[in-house]
Amino acid sequence: MPALGVGTNRWDTSAPGQGRLRDTLSAAVDAGMGFFDTAEVYSSGRSEMALGEAARQDGRPVLLASKFAPLPYRVTAAQFASALDRTLQRLGRESVDLYYLHFPYSPLGVAAWMKAMASAVQARKIRAVGISNCNVAQMRKAADALARYDIPLAANQVQYSLLHRKPETDGVLGACRSMDVALVAYRPIGGGAIAAGSPGGSGPGLALAGTLRDVAAARGATAAQVALAWLLKRDGHVIAIPGATRPEHVRENAGALSLELSEAEFAAIDRASAAAPAAAR
Ligand SMILES: NC(=O)c1ccc[n+]([C@@H]2O[C@H](COP(=O)([O-])OP(=O)(O)OC[C@H]3O[C@@H](n4cnc5c(N)ncnc54)[C@H](OP(=O)(O)O)[C@@H]3O)[C@@H](O)[C@H]2O)c1
């Protein structure tokens, strides 16, 4: 897995200004971040379709991850299987590299959904199994359920950025480390606010923006690159998936892969981020 991928939740070929999604995908593959994150619910399936189309046009091998949404009316293995089949159809693939349970809020527990995941692995429709928005207890339940089928839990995808450091305090980052599970960080640049230099707007939020700007200027980098490099340095289990529809954003974000922050830079950003107000996180 590359340490950086691309979030595609806004990919939609019918939306204005999205005529370059193939270039966006190609830019990511060129930069060694050919790992794309989608879900059946993104743009009502059109994200999966746009991603499948761009991957076909590019033609090179890419890793694709998608997600099953356990909506309240979905309670059977058959519903899971047909949702996965529709995802594969939209992606134009016979299998998906990583398939997540999108969230744990479901009349069926996480463990029951892992049984459905295991059947899909056995049917070779899924190569790896993940969960998303799960706490430590749910991670353990998922891992235990999968272990019965000799399948490792590959990833927990949660919100994690300099503006949202909850995985450090709720135990999820620690559990990813001890269970050897990838922490896939969504919204890693605060929905674009960090890249725009406006995390929080005032007070300590501005201090974070200032620190990112200073480090960026000293390293000939951008705030987005510094923020992503910080996440990757924080722990080797972190994989960040900044969302991007534009190729120039992907190229910029890829610069984080070769930006090694010094311990002093890392600590200064850590302090500025920890001081940012709750509203800015
Ligand atoms: N599991 C979950 O429940 C969950 C929830 C939310 C998101 N996600 C996943 O995580 C991915 C990332 O989260 P996100 O998209 O919400 O937030 P994000 O990655 O923090 O920010 C994405 C936004 O930042 C902009 N951007 C990206 N790189 C930039 C750069 N270098 N300079 C300036 N702007 C830049 C993008 O613009 P352009 O589009 O114009 O390129 C987009 O508007 C999503 O795409 C999705 O796959 C998962």
pLDDT for residue 97 is more than 80: yes
Residue 215 falls within a domain, yes or no? no
Residue nearest to atom 48 of ligand 1 (CA): 186
Question: Tens of pLDDT along 142-176?
Answer: 999 999 999 999 999 999 999 999 999 999 999 99
- Total structural domains in the chain? 1
Question: Tens of pLDDT along 10-28?
Answer: 999 999 888 899 999 999 9
User: How many helices and strands, by DSSP H and E, does the chain display?
Assistant: 11, 8
pLDDT at position 197 is: 77
b/e string for 97-119 if b means 16 or more Cβ within 10 A? bbbbbbbbebebebbbbbebbbb
**Ligand 1 and 187: CB distance under 6 A:** yes
pLDDT at position 200 is: 61
Q: Is 149 a catalytic residue?
A: no
43, 131, 241: residue to mutate for ligand 1 pocket, most atoms within 8 A of CB: 241
**Ligand 1 and 255: CB distance under 6 A:** no
Residue 268 falls within a domain, yes or no? no
Domain that holds residue 79: 6-196+235-259
How many CB atoms lie under 10 A from the CB of residue 209? 22
Can you tell me the distance from the alpha carbon of 115 to that of 102, in angstroms, rounded to the nearest whole number? 15
Contact between 208 and 273 (Cβ < 8 Å): yes
pLDDT band at 279; cut points 50, 70, 90: very low
Residue 147 falls within a domain, yes or no? yes
Give residue 143 CA to ligand 1 midpoint distance, Å.
28
pLDDT for residue 278 is more than 70: no
* Tokens, residue 33: 């971040």
Encoded amino acid at 182, one letter:
A
Give residue 191 CA to ligand 1 midpoint distance, Å.
5
Give residue 192 CA to ligand 1 midpoint distance, Å.
7
Question: Tens of pLDDT along 100-117?
Answer: 999 999 999 999 999 999
Residue 214 falls within a domain, yes or no? no
For residue 126, give the CATH number of its domain: 3.20.20.100
* Tokens, residue 255: 């610069």
Question: Tens of pLDDT along 37-94?
Answer: 999 999 999 999 999 999 999 999 999 999 999 999 999 999 999 999 999 999 999 9
Question: Tens of pLDDT along 188-227?
Answer: 999 998 988 766 655 667 789 999 999 999 999 999 999 9
pLDDT for residue 131 is more than 50: yes
Residue nearest to atom 21 of ligand 1 (CA): 191
Residue 124 falls within a domain, yes or no? yes
- In sequence order, the 6+-apart residues with CB closer than 8 A to the CB of 60 are 29, 34
pLDDT at position 83 is: 98
pLDDT at position 199 is: 66
What beta strand segments (E) does 160-266 contain? 182-186, 238-240
Residue 229 falls within a domain, yes or no? no
- In sequence order, the 6+-apart residues with CB closer than 8 A to the CB of 280 are 163, 199, 200, 201, 204, 205, 208
pLDDT at position 203 is: 61
What beta strand segments (E) does the chain contain? 6-7, 35-37, 63-68, 98-101, 129-132, 153-159, 182-186, 238-240
Give how far the C-alpha of residue 163 lies from the chain's centroid of Cα atoms, to the nearest Å. 16
**Ligand 1 and 47: CB distance under 6 A:** no
Give residue 185 CA to ligand 1 midpoint distance, Å.
11
Residue 33 falls within a domain, yes or no? yes
Contact between 37 and 6 (Cβ < 8 Å): yes
Residue 205 falls within a domain, yes or no? no
4, 6, 8, 9: residue to mutate for ligand 1 pocket, most atoms within 8 A of CB: 9
